[in-house]
Structure 1
Amino acid sequence: MTPILFWGLKIALFLLAVAMLCALFRLLVGPAAQDRVMALDCLYINGMLTMLVLGITYTSNVYFEAAMLIALFGFVGSTVLAKFLLRGEVIE
């Protein structure tokens, strides 16, 4: 691994951690339910990207599979929360 890639991955991990902290703050303090849902979306996307960066760093396929699972469950969770906020019920 080249030094540029090494430091680029380290900086990316740090910035993703900062973004996750900002999203966590918005999730806990958000004034409306819509803000909290958007913060949750941002949180799972940043978590997925963190797993991808870790997969590149450690050259392991397990991280990529974990990122795929995070993306799948995050999408389903976002859809369910959006439907709940719009209609007040999840199952019709």
Structure 2
Amino acid sequence: MMFSVATIAVFMAMVLVLFRLFAGPTLYDRVLAVNSFGTHTVLLIGIMGFLFGRPDFLDIALLYALINFVGTIAILKFFRYRAIGDHLHIEPEEEQSS
């Protein structure tokens, strides 16, 4: 019974996070909402594992948490530097005429 209530509460929190995702207003609000949705998904997978008596769902939840973390870092790096890899295109500074 208690896990069923927790499942409903996490699902409702996921719906609220979706509203924040679409409402914005900034890019970072949306990235934070996607990260929060991923965290709630990890919680939901863990709770569902306990509900169905499948403790191996926790392994899946941990893997999803790692993917969520790395994906968030990659998205933030891309929006900051406009590149994912090590190669950064840096514009040369304009020469100042004296």
Identify the match of residue 74 of structure 1 among 57, 68, 82.
Answer: 68
Larger Rg computed on CA atoms? 2
Give deviations 1:46-71, integer Å, cap 9, x for gaps: 00000101111112133112212211
Provide TM-score, normalisation by structure 2.
Answer: 0.80
Identify the match of residue 5 of structure 2 among 3, 8, 11.
Answer: 11
- 2:20 matches 1:26: yes
Give deviations 1:11-58, integer Å, cap 9, x for gaps: 110110011111111112211110010000100000000010111111
Q: Give 5+ residue unaligned stretches, structure 2.
A: 87-98
How many residue pairs match? The answer is: 86
What percentage of aligned pairs have identical amino acids? Answer: 28
Structure 1 residue ranges, 4+ long, deviating more than 3 angstroms after superposition: none
Backbone CA RMSD of aligned residues: 1.2
Provide TM-score, normalisation by structure 1.
Answer: 0.85
Q: Give 5+ residue unaligned stretches, structure 1.
A: 1-6
Which deviates more from structure 2 when the two are superposed, residues 45-54 or residues 21-30?
Answer: 21-30
Identify the match of residue 90 of structure 1 among 84, 90, 93.
Answer: 84
- 2:54 matches 1:60: yes
